[in-house]
Amino acid sequence: MPPAPLIAGPIANWQSHCVGLWHLSPDPTAPQLGEQLPPPPESSGEFNSEILTARELAPQWLRLVLANHEFNFRLWHEEDLARDCQASDATIAAVKRRIDRLNQQRNDALERIDVALAEWLDWLEVRPSDDAALATETPGSAIDRLSILALRIYHYEEQVTQAAAANIPEKLDRGLQLARLQRDRLVTALDALLGDIFAGRCRHDVFRQLKMYNDPELSPTIRRSGDRSLDEHRSK
């Protein structure tokens, strides 16, 4: 069986790299998907490993990672808008609808990461052993959590430099250190999980969302509001 690629660290570095780039935009809630794939930082040269470049898997898989990360980026800033006490009810309602749509897109992107990994493993003819265990989390879910941690760390670091009240810097510093620790531990855990998956010791299954409330055929609320397809509902 092929060796597992140690890619969790490079992914975490790349996510942080993208957060910094995207914050240069005058409107952090504006769509960025479809633009040129931001190159990983120099510290992420490990992406050039033989396995990741096989059949040009790296660019496609990294685009799925980027899509999930960008939806989290946009969600973060929409959540900020939703907590504006000065905003009108109409504004908050519009923000909440965007949050609902983005959250579904984020979960769709997460699922596609796991689907692509399953296809990758199949192409490499990786087969789990008969006694292979199941993990409580998929690699896609771990990558999604790394994405959120990249955003949290960026904003903690931003606030640390701007904090003025005497009691805030200490609290911010504790939060920042904990977020960094959580990221480091998750990087180690994800690489270990991928190692077990590629070695056949752990089974990789796509954890399907099965979200009834966004399905017009299964959600009574959507059915009552009109006969719309799921794609139409998600685009609103």
The percentage of the chain sitting over the pLDDT mark of 90, rounded to a whole number, equals: 35
pLDDT at 227: 52
Tell me if 91 is assigned to some domain. yes
Does position 188 have pLDDT exceeding 90, yes or no? yes
Contact present, 33 and 68 (Cβ < 8 Å): no
Parallel/antiparallel/unpaired status of strands 133-134 and 202-203: parallel
> With bands split at pLDDT 50, 70 and 90, how would you rate the model's confidence at 111?
very high
Tell me if 92 is assigned to some domain. yes
Mean per-residue pLDDT, 69-92: 85
Tell me if 47 is assigned to some domain. yes
Number of domains in the chain: 1
Tell me if 82 is assigned to some domain. yes
pLDDT at 181: 97
Tell me if 215 is assigned to some domain. no
pLDDT at 151: 96
Mean per-residue pLDDT over the chain, rounded: 79
Number of residues in the chain: 236
Does position 225 have pLDDT exceeding 80, yes or no? no
pLDDT at 106: 93
Tell me if 225 is assigned to some domain. no
Distance between CA atoms of residues 93 and 117, nearest Å:
37
Does position 53 have pLDDT exceeding 70, yes or no? no
In this structure, what are the phi and psi dihedrals at residue 133, rounded to the nearest 5 degrees? -85, 165
Quick: pLDDT tens for 191-203: 999 999 999 999 9
Tell me if 119 is assigned to some domain. yes
> Residue 135 is part of which domain span?
8-205
Tell me if 164 is assigned to some domain. yes
Does position 226 have pLDDT exceeding 50, yes or no? yes
**Secondary structure in 3-state letters for 121-139:** HHHCCCCCCCCCEECCCCH
pLDDT at 128: 92
Q: Name, in order, each residue with C-beta under 8 angstroms of 169's C-beta and a sequence gap of 6 or more.
A: 160, 163
Does position 176 have pLDDT exceeding 70, yes or no? yes
